[in-house]
Structure 1
């Protein structure tokens, strides 16, 4: 899954150089996010000034602030579009490397249940998900390194928390605790999902295989056989849906309820008038970025579950290939 792409010199430009390009551009996008956060502070202070006193701000000043935002996000849009185009090619090259490796050893793995589907579909899904999760993880780290110092400085304005009292740099600790709570919660609630996804793909492969045989052989894909196989598919999907139900309850409850957490924490400073509107917006965005960085597993858990299922299926390929190569390499007596 990895060595066919990252350890093969034929794919060096795409695997190593391409990965470096993706990470660099991702870092640059994070820097633009920081610039946007600074823009929010100055722009909302301008709005507060305009609302406090009529004609204190001219329309030209207001429009200049809007144009500044337009200039910042225009660069972001161009970079994002080019990066997405590059990533699509990157993922397909990774799939090509995996496909070439598996097809080279097709005689050793063709007997495995759903072998054709694994080569045709799982290779693409694996490359796409790993790339997406890898970039998301690195972006979370980069965002954390960029916004944590900002939130640390902005936390100087918050001298106490409701019901707790004075806590130095309280917003930083609050973001960490909130994210850790969500991560642990969803890891516990979703612990059974990877195994259920893997089992689900096995019954899907068996059903698909019988239908494929039925296309060329009238003795296969009989109604009773297909009915039984589809019943297994139905049973496993419904079981998976049931487990995702309580997982989604925990996930969406956590995500939605924690939106109000920074507002409650900022409550004393807001009601006492210790913050300007611009500083408030900067704090909220910085808090959100830091919390979101720590919430990588929270937002990615469903995708990680899917990846673990695909990994198990492709891993079965590679175990079979390695075992066959080892047997072939043993000298005959």
Structure 2
């Protein structure tokens, strides 16, 4: 799944993680201060609009990001640059990381725009003097600048990611088909090569981008949330808490993640069995097209009963999983408002500042809730991974995974009842 596309995947991903930690440490403990020493300062009030992306501090960070990517890629080129898919897996992955980071910067630019716009709305509604229509038009034009950059970024990211996913699928397809004689005896082998490789690449790429986006969002929005916490000095019931907004986001996200993981713990296995019983039913129908002795009504009924039983089990498990997920989602919608009540009563923030707080809290909370937001997709990926692991076992001449071995021992019949 991975070694067909990435050079020495275990070493590659471990080194990528280690280098990311080193790069973050270098930025916060050395390079950022070096920029300040060279006269590159973060503006007290970041510009609104497209100018946000070309400030001196932004360009300094982009240069550092580029140097880090080049250093990592060149090091791997020297270490193992002969891998066929090196350019796509190494340089392509780094481009996706940068495009994801830039998407986070667009979110920061929009959040920076919210404060002056909504403060202006509040001032206009309070009939403060000196406010003219052009003040609003100017800010809306600034938003259009950010929006145009954002649209271009989304188009470019999706276009490149589509090619990236197809190259990864191609790498897996070539690897598995080259070993077809060893794999053809695995149940549903054709489906695993044709469909599972496609879905595995798509889902893994999507989850990977979401994970990178969550990490980048935390890096970008956590300092902002820390700064905004000064406007929320006191919480109901709890009282005064330093950096209250950060601790609230962390607690609520960890709670929700643990809750949904417990609720959905059985779903990956059910997804896996569902793919298998569907494949067995479809396979018998295909055989029946060419062989009049196959696909007899009694056989089809038994195979379809297996499909029905597994689906009903999934429906039951999703009944309480969706119920818990929906309850958590409803509570999440009012969670931060409850803890902002003392701040509302004290009247210490403006409407524009409230919008910034809500956005920053939501971004940080959603990033911490990565597993909550992606849990259903992770479940699907786990089931596909289980199926492709059987291929890996056959190629490496290792025992089949337990769930496949049980299926073969049962003579190809799934016992679900």
TM-score by length of 2: 0.76
Of residues 267-276 and 8-17 in structure 1, the stretch that sits farther from structure 2 once superposed is 8-17
Matched, 1:217 2:291: yes
2:356 to 273, 279, 282: 282
Matched, 1:72 2:146: yes
Residue 387 (structure 2) aligns with: 313
Structure 2 matches for 1:1-333, cutoff 5 A?
1-7=1-7, 9-53=83-127, 56-323=130-397
CA distance in 1, matches of 2:130, 2:243: 34
Q: Deviations for 1:243-285, whole angstroms, at most 9, x for unmatched residues? A: 0110011112112211111111111111221110111100000
Aligned-pair distance for 1:55? 5.7
Residue 331 (structure 1) aligns with: none
Aligned-pair distance for 1:161? 0.4
Structure 2: state its 5+ residue gaps.
8-81, 399-417
Larger relative contact order, structure 1 or 2 (CA cutoff 8 Å, min sep 6): 1
Q: 1:50·1:56 contact (CA, 8 Å) conserved in 2?
A: no
Aligned-pair distance for 1:54? 5.8
Q: 1:158·1:269 contact (CA, 8 Å) conserved in 2?
A: yes
Q: Deviations for 1:59-113, whole angstroms, at most 9, x for unmatched residues? A: 1111111111111011001110111011111111111100000000000010111
Structure 1: state its 5+ residue gaps.
325-333
Match of 1:152, SS? helix
Match of 1:5, SS? coil
Residue 328 (structure 1) aligns with: none
CA distance in 1, matches of 2:371, 2:130: 46
Aligned-pair distance for 1:211? 1.0
Aligned length: 324
CA distance in 2, matches of 1:109, 1:246: 38
Residue 327 (structure 1) aligns with: none
Q: 1:22·1:87 contact (CA, 8 Å) conserved in 2?
A: yes
Residue 29 (structure 2) aligns with: none
Q: Deviations for 1:117-136, whole angstroms, at most 9, x for unmatched residues? A: 00010000000000000110
CA distance in 1, matches of 2:181, 2:360: 54
Q: 1:32·1:76 contact (CA, 8 Å) conserved in 2?
A: yes
CA distance in 1, matches of 2:173, 2:330: 41
